[in-house]
Copies of this chain bind each other. A is one copy, B any other.
Amino acid sequence: MTDVARLAGVSHQTVSRVLNGHPNVREQTRLRVRAAIAELGYRPNKAARALVTGRSQLIGVVAQNSTLYGPASLLAAFEAAAAEAGFAVSVGRVNVLDRNSISDAVERHLDQRVAGIVVIAPTASANEAVGEVSAGIPLVTVDGDPERSTPLVTVDQAAGAFAATTHLLSAGHRTVWHVSGPSDWFDSLGRIRGWRTALETAGLEVPPVVPADWSASSGYRAGQMLARMPEVSAIFAANDHLALGILRAMSERGRRVPHDVSLVGFDDVPEAAYFIPPLTTIRPDFDAVAKETLELLLAQVSDGDVGAPQRTVAPSLVQRDSVAPPAE
């Protein structure tokens, strides 16, 4: 930086002012400094800046160490959004979403003097942990508890589930069964709520929830059970991989989809169009979630506290070939 200042014939402080877009710099000086920067290939040292300002151009993300499609896509989308805004992203993976792991991960980020933290907290335990952590630093929760009063961005699970269920009902089915995700995930809860609401507003019977986790294997087990029940004609699966397991169970038992059983998934994984049959599903807009998250975070960074805004992003229905009117 001193070299740049010398070459441009100014003080290092003026160089700093140019770098930070300070208004009170003469245009001519600004150009000279820029030229010197370019000539020397100078790049500012972020560590030094972080030291003196107390904040770096880094955003810390705390996420569960999983390759589940939803969280992974969200993370990728967020990294892209942050990069566009000139922020680097440091990811702190965590194996279990309990209090210790999360607060450890957050503190590791604090050590790096991150500008803000994003926690992907889709389960109840994660949510509690976040509650205790928030230590005077910009923080946004993604996929967390809608009841909590912190800045939060989520996919509108209930709306998606409502759309899926309504779509099945409008094909003529008398009721819709639901194979759910793990009960400690807010995503699962929201999807159950939307499904139930859709049935109730239609004045229909609400069958018991079939519990599962997010895996194809648990979907398969749930599917084996549902395949044995002739009265089941429509199923809303809490995600596409569950739906895949259900498809296999149906196929093994000779129940054809969509002829005998209609099925809707959730997530729109890239290969869902190539399931047998192609899966009708709900597509969350991860890019939108990432964008909103970054916006809320940066608002906190620049304006300090901004209350506890909550944003939800509406998912959309993708129609393929796994839904048909009931057989009879």
Contact = CB atoms under 8 A, between A and B. Distances in A.
Interface of A: 43-48, 50-51, 56, 58, 65-67, 69, 72-73, 76, 79-80, 83, 88-93, 95, 107-113, 215-217, 219-220, 241, 244-245, 247-248, 251, 270-271, 273-276, 278
Contacts of A56: 47, 112
B271 A112 contact: no
A278 B56 CA distance: 48
Given A248-B276, A251-B276, A67 B108 contact: no
B271 A244 contact: yes
A283 to B, nearest CB: 14
B51 A47 contact: yes
A251 B270 CA distance: 19
Contacts of A51: 45, 47-48, 51
This protein's copies in its complex: 2
B90 A89 contact: yes
B80 A65 contact: yes
Nearest to A113: B47
A72 B93 CA distance: 13
Contacts of A270: 67, 215-216, 241
Contacts of A215: 270-271
Contacts of A108: 88
A29 to B, nearest CB: 24
A133 to B, nearest CB: 14
8 contacts: A45-B51, A47-B113, A58-B90, A66-B76, A76-B93, A215-B270, A220-B274, A244-B275
Given A69-B67, A83-B92, A46 B244 contact: no
B88 A112 contact: yes
A91 B91 contact: yes
A311 to B, nearest CB: 23
A73 B109 CA distance: 23
Contact of A43 (B50, B107, B273): B107
Contacts of A93: 76, 79-80, 83
A215 B274 CA distance: 10
A287 B4 CA distance: 45
A93 B287 CA distance: 14
A68 to B, nearest CB: 9
A72 B76 CA distance: 9
Contact of A111 (B44, B79, B80, B248): B44
A179 B112 CA distance: 46
Contact of A45 (B89, B111, B251, B271): B111
A280 to B, nearest CB: 15
B76 A271 contact: no
B92 A88 contact: yes
Question: Which of A216, A273, A274: most chain B Cβ within 10 A?
Answer: A274
Contacts of A72: 67, 72, 76
A291 to B, nearest CB: 15
Contacts of A271: 215-216, 241, 244-245
A247 to B, nearest CB: 7
Given A47-B113, A56-B47, A112-B58, A245 B216 contact: no
